[in-house]
């Protein structure tokens, strides 16, 4: 009898869950991608996220992923989501600073928090709330939904032992890191992925940063430059985001929103784990090929940091939303550093 009652109770729970899911209307979204499904490792996680969201919603939330350019050009994802011509896009939102300069701080900015600190700020330190406020006029809701492994500092054809060694170099670098290097005397270029290797190989540029070891190895940069510098001061953490039109998001039921949050949370965890392993293994292979893996000299990092903080203050003076985000991040980091120092092992 006890076993029978247990079985009946379990069946009731399952039936109730089924009824709850059945009550949710079927939603079909189109999602434009900035990264292809074969872009390792994040591409696979993007596709898996859509399947998990569908499963967790009992099949009521169906998101169709489109490869980069198949639905809208990558530079057009922000506008397409904002205008509601597509429901969602998956991208590094720092790519769209021409629409909102401050969002670079959520994806591609120098000396920003490491992963643990960034996650604390986003989930519990006010970072998500500020992002929601900044993106609200654009009718976009951004959900933290994945991470690329930390970037490297770049590939160089010669050693860099002092800041003066950077002066006069032609370098591929994107984002706000370029602003800092230009102050040093670097001529920066924001080349697309397919154009970086040929330019480096032919000597059109002297150095290039692109991504992390796992990605860089696949592009063959080691065949054109032998000095590989760490860490990636220009982009310490590379969070990726599910950008959703706010009207489309508002139409979701509470259960569908929860399914989306859970699917993205799982994507964050798994992309972190796989990204670290992919980069670790790639770096081992690159060392075996004779690549000279180097760390920046402390005095170089310190000077770049000083210049970045000056640049951040300048940008804060030019854009109210940049200032709002920078202030939130900076205030959180001060409090975080105070307690984190107590936890640090000597």
Residue with tokens 């970086």: 196
**Environment class of 109 (CB within 10 Å of its CB; exposed 0-12, middle 13-18, buried 19+):** buried
pLDDT at res. 6 = 40
For residues 337 and 332, what is the distance between their CA atoms, to the nearest angstrom?
Answer: 9
The CATH number linked to 176 is 3.40.190.10
Clarify whether residues 58 and 139 are in a common domain.
yes
Clarify whether residues 229 and 247 are in a common domain.
no
pLDDT at res. 20 = 40
Residue 247 placed within a domain: yes
Clarify whether residues 202 and 298 are in a common domain.
yes
Full domain range(s) for residue 136: 26-149+236-278
Clarify whether residues 62 and 97 are in a common domain.
yes
pLDDT at res. 90 = 98
Clarify whether residues 221 and 268 are in a common domain.
no
Residue 334 placed within a domain: no
pLDDT of 265-277, one tens digit each?
Answer: 999 999 999 999 9
103 sits in the region (left: phi over 0; alpha: psi -120 to 50; else beta) called alpha
pLDDT at res. 4 = 35
- Residues with Cβ within 8 Å of 341's Cβ and at least 6 positions away in sequence, in order, are none
pLDDT tens for each residue of the chain, 346 residues long:
444 334 333 333 333 344 345 589 999 999 999 999 999 889 999 999 999 999 999 999 999 999 999 999 999 999 999 999 999 999 999 999 999 999 999 998 999 999 999 999 999 999 999 999 999 999 999 999 999 999 999 999 999 999 999 999 999 998 899 999 999 999 999 888 789 999 999 999 999 999 999 999 999 999 999 999 999 999 999 999 999 999 999 999 999 999 999 999 999 999 999 999 999 999 999 999 999 999 999 999 999 999 999 999 999 999 999 999 999 999 999 999 998 888 877 6
* CA distances in angstroms from 335 to 30, 89, 101, 329, listed in the order given: 40, 33, 25, 10
Clarify whether residues 103 and 222 are in a common domain.
no
Clarify whether residues 221 and 297 are in a common domain.
yes
Identify which of 88, 76, 106 has the alpha carbon closest to the alpha carbon of residue 244. Answer: 88
Residue 175 placed within a domain: yes
Clarify whether residues 36 and 165 are in a common domain.
no
pLDDT at res. 346 = 65
Residue 10 placed within a domain: no
Residue 176 placed within a domain: yes
Clarify whether residues 62 and 203 are in a common domain.
no
Clarify whether residues 33 and 166 are in a common domain.
no
Q: State the CB neighbour count (10 A cutoff) for residue 285.
A: 12
Residue 339 placed within a domain: no
Clarify whether residues 193 and 144 are in a common domain.
no
The CATH number linked to 58 is 3.40.190.170
For residues 257 and 20, what is the distance between their CA atoms, to the nearest angstrom?
Answer: 14
pLDDT of 77-117, one tens digit each?
Answer: 999 999 999 999 999 999 999 999 999 999 989 999 999 99
Residue 337 placed within a domain: no
Our count of domains for the chain comes to 2
Provide the token pair at 74: 């990558």
Clarify whether residues 112 and 261 are in a common domain.
yes
């Amino acid at each position: 009898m006890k076993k029978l009652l247990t079985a009946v109770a379990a069946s009731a729970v399952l039936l109730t869950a089924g009824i709850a899911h059945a009550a949710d209307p079927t939603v079909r979204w189109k999602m434009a991608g900035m990264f292809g499904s074969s872009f390792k490792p994040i591409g696979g996680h993007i596709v898996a996220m859509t399947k998990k969201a569908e499963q967790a919603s009992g099949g009521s939330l169906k998101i169709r992923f489109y490869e980069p350019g198949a639905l809208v050009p990558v530079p057009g994802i922000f506008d397409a989501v904002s205008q509601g011509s597509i429901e969602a896009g998956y991208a590094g939102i720092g790519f769209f600073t021409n629409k909102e300069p401050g969002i670079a701080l959520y994806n591609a900015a120098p000396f920003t928090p490491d992963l643990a600190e960034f996650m604390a700020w986003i989930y519990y330190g006010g970072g998500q709330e500020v992002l929601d406020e900044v993106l609200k006029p654009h009718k976009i809701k951004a959900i933290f939904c994945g991470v690329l492994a930390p970037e490297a500092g770049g590939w160089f054809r010669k050693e860099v032992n002092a800041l003066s060694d950077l002066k006069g170099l032609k370098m591929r670098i994107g984002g706000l890191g370029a602003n800092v290097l230009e102050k040093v005397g670097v001529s920066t270029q924001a080349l697309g992925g397919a154009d970086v290797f040929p330019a480096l190989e032919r000597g059109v540029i002297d150095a290039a940063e692109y991504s992390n070891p796992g990605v860089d190895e696949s592009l063959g940069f080691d065949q054109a430059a032998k000095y590989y510098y760490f860490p990636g001061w220009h982009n310490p953490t590379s969070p990726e985001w599910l950008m959703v039109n706010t009207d489309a998001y508002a139409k979701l039921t509470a259960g569908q929103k929860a399914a989306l949050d859970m699917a993205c949370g799982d994507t964050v965890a798994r992309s972190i784990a796989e990204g670290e392993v992919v980069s670790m293994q790639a770096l081992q292979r690159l060392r075996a090929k004779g690549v000279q893996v180097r760390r920046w000299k402390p005095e170089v990092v310190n000077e770049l940091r000083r210049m970045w903080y000056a640049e951040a203050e300048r940008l804060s003076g030019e854009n109210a939303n940049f200032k709002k985000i920078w202030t939130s991040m900076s205030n959180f980091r001060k409090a975080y550093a105070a307690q984190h120092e107590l936890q640090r092992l000597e």
